[in-house]
Amino acid sequence: MPPPPPPQEQGPWPDHVARLAERAQVMVELSRRGLSFGRLVALWLTGALAVVGWAAVGTAVQSFEGGGLGVMTGVVALGLAAVLLIPAATAVGFWLSRGRVIRERLDAWARFAPEPVTDIRLGAHRRSVVWLLPSVLLCLVGVWVTGRAIAEAGSGGVTGRESVTLGETAYALGLGVTLLVTGLLGLVPSVRHQCWSGRLMSSVPVRRGGGAHR
């Protein structure tokens, strides 16, 4: 990952034009890393791990409901759920931390010079679309699954001809919330980067020095 900008008086650039060129190159690279396909896949894999963990939670609840030897199965399922959900939560924390570092370095390089960035690659429009569309889909599916699970729980676990168990409700809620959170985690960086890069590339540099006043 490109480092943060050094103090201007310590920079290796021969002139201001070279400094601006280096700034644009570094910011384009940071924007690519922030919206890379690898980061998106890592987010999806973490979400999939959490979904499997919630399936284990649902199995544990169903086992406890059955009683008897099912209690032992429930304990094992709860242990498996912890093994899956705790690493998933930790991975999300690292994922968010890396994204925050990238944003901070982008902001630092943006403040490095008053001139706006003119390299259109900074917008990363195609990458933003790749992040945006599946993230919106995940959010919609997550809202639908969560709403359906809540409706079934509110109706006493009976929907039409089917009786929904507490374990199935727990899994459905976990699945819906996981899909929704995964979608939001992909949606927010895409929209935020487009808004940020749009403001940066369209900003007017502040004039320095005295002007004519009448």
Sequential pLDDT tens for the chain (214 residues): 888 887 766 666 667 777 788 888 999 999 999 999 999 999 999 999 999 999 999 999 988 887 777 789 889 999 999 999 999 999 999 999 999 999 999 999 888 887 778 888 888 899 999 999 999 999 999 999 999 988 887 776 555 445 668 888 899 999 999 999 999 999 999 999 999 988 887 754 444 443 433 3
Residue of 204, 133, 143 whose CA lies nearest to 178: 143
Residue of 102, 82, 94 whose CA lies nearest to 43: 94
What residue spans define the domains of the chain? 16-202
Across the chain, how many H-helices and E-strands are there? 5, 2
Question: Which sign does the torsion angle of CA 110, 190, 101, 122 carry?
Answer: negative
